[in-house]
Amino acid sequence: MNLKERVIEKPDAIIVIGAGLKRMNDEIACSAQSVQNVEKALDLLEELGTKDINLVFSGGFSLDSKTEAETMKKYFKEHYSEMYAYYFESNSVVYLETKSRNSYDNIRYSLNLAEQNKWRNIIFIDQPMHLLQLKLLATKELRKRNLRHSVIVEFIGAEPVWGGNAQKQWRNPFVFALYEILSTGYYLLKGKII
């Protein structure tokens, strides 16, 4: 995505939503979709060419006490060591949001960080088919917190992962779409959106 196509030219924070974990031999690693989400965030940071953007890895789902957020940070450090070092020499901070267990929690806890740090321009990154649900949840949460007009939120899709590299339940895009419809309906019934 070209900078001219985006709403936010320079975000205060980029929030990367976790998309699961996987076992690789004896290690816990990011799912293929989480890797794509991290890669998209790093591409965006590189495109913006600035050090002072905060990075948040959001995801509390865990295997063997390793959370999505922790594994995404580990992936960043291991595969992009120069960028990681550059980033930590700056005024930017990499935050780990490890409490969330679902999409609503990803939004809620990430917006808590935004409020605490007075971030006004935020970009969320996740799988494209999940962005509508995140947008609906964020809109309601911003309204509830009276931040609807003071915080600008943008949602950017990472490359989706289908087939054998995806988490087992998301190998078929039609199954994923059905899941998104049902889970969005659940949030609607619980009063979390609209």
Q: pLDDT tens digit string along 35-77?
A: 999 999 999 988 887 778 999 999 999 999 999 999 999 999 8
Domains of the chain listed by start with CATH number:
3-189 (3.40.50.620)
Find the mean pLDDT for residues 80-91. 73
14-28, 58-72, 126-140, 173-187: range with lowest mean pLDDT = 173-187
Give pLDDT, residue 2. 40
Query: Cα separations (Å) of 101 from 18, 60, 141, 155?
Result: 10, 5, 17, 20
Are 160 and 192 spatial neighbours (Cβ–Cβ below 8 Å)? no
Query: Cα separations (Å) of 87 from 8, 58, 181?
Result: 20, 18, 38
Which tokens sit at 122? 């935020």
Helix extents (H) in the chain: 32-48, 68-79, 81-88, 103-117, 131-144, 173-189
